[in-house]
Amino acid sequence: MNKVIKYFRRKEKGILAYGLLLTALVFVLASCGGGNVDPASLRGGETRQTLAPQYFTGSTARAYVAARDVPEVLDSLHCYCECKKNFGHKSLLTCFVTTHARNCDICINEAVMANKLHKKGYDVVAIRKAVDKAFKKYAR
């Protein structure tokens, strides 16, 4: 009789361990969410033309070049100077359709960083993650 009880207890432990492992696996897979993000879904919707870079110098000009060259990237980024809240901007790209970015180090540095990462072959999702990590400390 004791052998029978020991046999079933061992089986119960095995089934319990298997059940816990299966539950953990389902949880991990569900929390990953597939990892696929459609870059188009990140766009802010800015459609206006950016200002020409030749009106500016130095890093400001480089930032306006970035806005001209990779608008789809900048339109997918949050601007951490909080101009969306304060001025109704749609995305980082909106900062470059006026002279707003000219005097804002956050806008300039975000755009320059995004352009460098784009030139290195990073996709929009990876660029967004890197910019968010670097600039979220400025969020108010």
For residue range 104-113, what is the model confidence (pLDDT) as tens digits?
A: 999 999 999 9
Statement to judge: residues 26 and 71 lie in one domain? no
Statement to judge: residues 94 and 30 lie in one domain? no
Domain span including residue 129: 39-138
Q: Which residue is listed with tokens 């306006």?
A: 64
Q: For 91, which DSSP code?
A: S
For residue 23, the Cα-to-chain-centroid distance in whole angstroms is 30
Statement to judge: residues 121 and 70 lie in one domain? yes
Statement to judge: residues 47 and 96 lie in one domain? yes
Residues 6+ apart with CB under 8 A from 115: 62, 65, 66, 69, 70, 73
Statement to judge: residues 97 and 130 lie in one domain? yes
Statement to judge: residues 72 and 54 lie in one domain? yes
Average pLDDT, the chain: 75
CA pair distance 57, 18, nearest whole angstrom: 64
Count of domains for the chain: 2
Statement to judge: residues 27 and 72 lie in one domain? no
Residues 6+ apart with CB under 8 A from 124: 39, 42, 72, 73, 76
Statement to judge: residues 82 and 98 lie in one domain? yes
Question: Is the predicted pLDDT of residue 17 greater than 60, yes or no?
Answer: no
- pTM greater than 0.75: no
Statement to judge: residues 26 and 52 lie in one domain? no
Question: Is the predicted pLDDT of residue 90 greater than 50, yes or no?
Answer: yes
